A and B are shown apart, each in its own frame.
Chain A
Amino acid sequence: GAVVSQHPSRVICKSGTSVKIECRSLDFQATTMFWYRQFPKQSLMLMATSNEGSKATYEQGVEKDKFLINHASLTLSTLTVTSAHPEDSSFYICSARGGLSYNEQFFGPGTRLTVL
């Protein structure tokens, strides 16, 4: 149980385009989902906290107009990187909290974004 999926796993796009990443909790209802960004050999940096049916809470320094988050249901959250640029190239990981294990976050496999 407690499986989180992400799609796509890898995406390459041209500068200026927008990319949508989906995060799904497959076998539990996720009351809260989180989006992280991770650069090579660095830690996970929390970008935003997403609660179903409400606006996401962004961490300081994260542009909410650039990283659009939608949490339309208890099993799906999406992150859209708008007008992507090469500096947005990174590993984007979502996690979900829910079910019986409140203290644990379940992570998706991540999405490798490369902006040319």
Chain B
Amino acid sequence: GQSLEQPSEVTAVEGAIVQINCTYQTSGFYGLSWYQQHDGGAPTFLSYNALDGLEETGRFSSFLSRSDSYGYLLLQELQMKDSASYFCAVSSHNTDKLIFGTGTRLQVFP
């Protein structure tokens, strides 16, 4: 089967840096995605990694190590609006679907 584990909750202050880890177990791994979801809202796409290494998009970066079945999302210069839930999701070969992780609730304090 497939499983993804994330910390349930992370707290930080404005301006800080936060790393949200994701470990996964899946067959036929293809790529790791990250999504942000505010309360009551739809998930929005943040990043995608298919190869090892770091992908940077503005204040957000995402890292993947395929050999370790591990990735993380790095959020820099935190802002209050970054308070949300963050999900990692894996996609596999031969399938279109995404399997979502357990989710990490990030709370940013002033």
Which residues of chain A have a CB within 8 Å of any CB of chain B? 32, 34, 41-46, 49, 93, 95, 97, 103-110
Contacts and interface: CB of A to CB of B under 8 A. Distances in A.
Contacts of A106: 45
Given A43-B87, A44-B87, A103-B91, A34 B41 contact: no
A93 B87 contact: no
A64 to B, nearest CB: 16
A43 B43 contact: no
A100 to B, nearest CB: 13
Given A43-B87, A109-B41, 9 more contacts: A34-B96, A45-B100, A46-B99, A49-B97, A93-B42, A93-B43, A103-B91, A104-B48, A110-B41
Contact of B98 (A46, A108, A110): A46
Interface in B41-95: 41-45, 48, 50, 87, 91, 95
A45 B4 CA distance: 12
A26 to B, nearest CB: 14
Contact of A32 (B31, B87, B96, B101): B96
Contacts of A45: 100
A43 B91 contact: no
A104 B45 contact: yes
Contacts of A109: 41-42
Interface string B24-52: 00000001010100001111110010100
Contacts of B96: 32, 34, 49, 97
A34 B98 contact: yes
A106 B33 CA distance: 12
Given A103-B48, A103-B91, A46 B97 contact: yes
A95 B45 CA distance: 11
By Cβ-Cβ distance, the 10 closest A-B pairs, closest first, are: A107-B42, A44-B100, A43-B100, A107-B43, A43-B103, A103-B48, A32-B96, A104-B45, A109-B42, A43-B102
